[in-house]
Structure 1
């Protein structure tokens, strides 16, 4: 079993890249079709399909569709196992995952491989090769040692470059206790300053310059006009439109990589320095939901809410919490989630919660005791001193778990696609 991960920059040839792109789209199609098949089986027959049954249907589809047969059988089976694990996480009362959803078409692609289907070999100090089924040896930059036995691999494309990630069994174990057992810190996540600690430190980073933001906005506007014209004339996507979309994907990938680098950097330092890290219990997914409403009941302050959503997502609140959770396995740090109510309004000295205490985004001044401090630092101190929340989940709506699968029935078109693929339920 893999207990750690390694990610490297991959350098496939043009021919290899084209085949990997084709496989990536096939994996997305297979995941969506298998999900619809499970939904259809439960809604129509109250039957829960497992991996074994769906692998049998996959074998039948490989006989009838050449482009499905081109995907390595091990990769298709890995996709079905991923879907099965997504369902298991959803059914697990202790896991915060929601129901599995369809994978949208995007420039981001991934192709999974089991460990026995690949072979990794080091060429020299800087380079290594991974031998993939039907593709052959692909070079990657050997930026760090593997440190163990490879159990699985994922070849991915993020819109800018190819990467290969290895799940490695390194025998790593979580320490029983942190090196500094009595250290506690509260962390406040903000929209102006990304992370503020209770000791007064502030960590923030800009992931896109003003020029890059203007360029990205211009490209998205152009892509929107091209898509409107395409639909108006019922035409296919032009090469120019594809180039614009590719440029958008590259720009967004660069911003995403900078954000990932920042949250990983912050998580590593917090876990190395503190035994307990306290965070507000926030439902980021619910907080960033759209407010536009419906035609019958339109929302209010839609543009203001959209701006807040972009600010929250830009700072990577959820990504930071995930990076922090991953890093705790190596340091023994414990994450404590506390209720978020009044942490921004409460005075850290006297406990007064008057809403007028926070004069602005940056200034906190308590009326009764006169305490003045940076608003984010004051909130971080409140997070540090607050008691832990009783619920282990964050932002997860309550649902009835008596039914293993509760999904909307697929449309007739989706049923037709599933049956055409040879994935029959008869």
Structure 2
């Protein structure tokens, strides 16, 4: 299996090389903007969009025109790549993945790309680029694989090189076999269903006052003066620092989660919709605009989508999986009994079910609901794989990394749902939850009657607040017709010999088949 990976380093060019890189980036920007303008004129004339092959002929013409002969000074391949970037932008627009291509502004995202002709000398920390020669770079890690292309970019007055390589790797199998639900938030960046909490770094909030001060200083300068440019550079550097702090922290969090869990269930959050402005229009002004603006800043400061992106590719590399589920009502639903109402959430941090009295941290309760929704999707065969570590048609109820899906198996042919119960759930709580029992038309009241357990006791077992006793393990084993050792190993470390003795007595618990027949 081939893997593409990028390695980014800071360049250390001399004065002439930096001047040349600015000229090359400007030439690529000119080619992109001029081609976009010609495409717009062509469209206004009633003609169809022209592909890259047609646009490449324009580039040859511009190099021979006296007004644009200076394009010959730039390397030809980066100019061609600029045309390919425009072609890709049009394709993304036609396929409704992006907005209509826009003109590029000087000083914003200045970059150019070499598809070939690059030499890399890692021993001496230098790289050779066409028409630039050898440039030293700040080496921080070893580049592995065959170099496919190199992108030179500028940010906050500094130049960087991104080296994309391709190399062969073995098919990955995740070392863990656990599933976990992840609830993203503002007060807590990420809360896992096992109780792990990752606090937010809030890099923008930490530097907000300093940023406002620098922006005020810049607004007092004469625009485009040298002092204005110095002030602008300070603002840019602070923005870059804020982004770097956030990105670094998200990498640490995503790596920790990815290493310890084979399957991560997250909410399919639409961050763009959640962070829309509440200002409204002149005719219909919005309400609580200031409060909504503060919430939007807090949401965007967390980097939820970046966290999801990192989890997806890291799980793909490790042989794990990320599953996104519908986020509806995950914060209002009781993870114990399934009762859903907004009154269950008493405050931002506290959840108390009005139906069964179950109390828990609201974020942990939400993470458990997310995990339960992931189990339901897996059990119903609705797995929409974001990675490529699983086979196209995995065995029914079991993933490639040896993890049993909990819940009801996907049915085939004339199978009855009552005949398709998995015999090996992951936890006791999952087997006793409403998510598992509902498709079987069994209520927790029926289950409690069969097990001689009260609803509060069942709620405590599901939430993990109390461990099951040996007698309860035997009753569960008899009900679900499984080995009692499984229940004991999952929930507690009890005396197996005593459990086997009780099991041999065949405790008077109606099996699940009898309960289903009622």
Question: Highest relative contact order (Cα 8 Å, sep 6+), 1 or 2?
Answer: 1
Look up the match of 1:204. Answer: 199
CA drift of 1:219 comes to 1.3
What is the 5 A alignment of 1:278-293?
Answer: 278-293=265-280
Look up the match of 2:14. Answer: 13
SS of 1:350's partner is coil
| Structure 2 residues without counterparts, runs of 5 or longer | 387-518
Establish whether residue 169 from structure 1 lines up as the match of residue 170 from structure 2: no
**1:32-61 deviation per Cα after TM superposition (whole angstroms, max 9, x unaligned):** 443444444345424121111122222333
Q: Give the direction of change, closer, same or farther, for the CA distance of 1:108–1:57 in structure 2 (3 Å limit).
A: same
Look up the match of 1:403. Answer: none
Task: Identify the match of residue 330 of structure 1 among 293, 317, 327.
Answer: 317
Q: Provide the aligned length of Structure 1 versus Structure 2.
A: 378
What is the 5 A alignment of 1:134-153?
Answer: 134-153=131-150
Q: Give the direction of change, closer, same or farther, for the CA distance of 1:222–1:355 in structure 2 (3 Å limit).
A: same
Q: Give the direction of change, closer, same or farther, for the CA distance of 1:75–1:202 in structure 2 (3 Å limit).
A: same
Task: Identify the match of residue 215 of structure 2 among 220, 228, 244.
Answer: 220
Measured in 1, the distance between the counterparts of 2:257 and 2:117 equals 38
Look up the match of 1:233. Answer: none
Look up the match of 1:54. Answer: 55
Compute the TM-score of the two structures, normalised by the length of structure 2: 0.66
SS of 2:136's partner is strand
Establish whether residue 117 from structure 1 lines up as the match of residue 117 from structure 2: yes
Instruction: Work out whether residues 3 and 171 of structure 1, in 8 Å CA contact, stay in contact via their aligned partners in 2.
Output: no
Task: Identify the match of residue 342 of structure 1 among 329, 341, 361.
Answer: 329
CA drift of 1:2 comes to 6.9
Establish whether residue 185 from structure 1 lines up as the match of residue 180 from structure 2: yes
Establish whether residue 362 from structure 1 lines up as the match of residue 357 from structure 2: no
Over the aligned positions, Cα root-mean-square deviation in angstroms equals 2.9
**1:248-280 deviation per Cα after TM superposition (whole angstroms, max 9, x unaligned):** 110011111111112222222322222221111
Look up the match of 1:410. Answer: none
Instruction: Work out whether residues 107 and 249 of structure 1, in 8 Å CA contact, stay in contact via their aligned partners in 2.
Output: no
Q: Give the direction of change, closer, same or farther, for the CA distance of 1:238–1:364 in structure 2 (3 Å limit).
A: same
Task: Identify the match of residue 68 of structure 2 among 41, 65, 68.
Answer: 65
Look up the match of 2:246. Answer: 259
Establish whether residue 131 from structure 1 lines up as the match of residue 128 from structure 2: yes
Measured in 2, the distance between the counterparts of 1:313 and 1:32 equals 30
CA drift of 1:69 comes to 4.0
Instruction: Work out whether residues 24 and 112 of structure 2, in 8 Å CA contact, stay in contact via their aligned partners in 1.
Output: no
What is the 5 A alignment of 1:402-413?
Answer: none
Look up the match of 2:25. Answer: 24
Compute the TM-score of the two structures, normalised by the length of structure 1: 0.80
Measured in 2, the distance between the counterparts of 1:103 and 1:245 equals 22
Larger Rg: 2
Instruction: Work out whether residues 173 and 330 of structure 1, in 8 Å CA contact, stay in contact via their aligned partners in 2.
Output: no
| Structure 1 residues without counterparts, runs of 5 or longer | 231-236, 395-426
Q: Give the direction of change, closer, same or farther, for the CA distance of 1:210–1:167 in structure 2 (3 Å limit).
A: closer
Measured in 1, the distance between the counterparts of 2:287 and 2:339 equals 31
Instruction: Work out whether residues 89 and 101 of structure 2, in 8 Å CA contact, stay in contact via their aligned partners in 1.
Output: no
Look up the match of 2:81. Answer: 78
Measured in 2, the distance between the counterparts of 1:352 and 1:23 equals 62
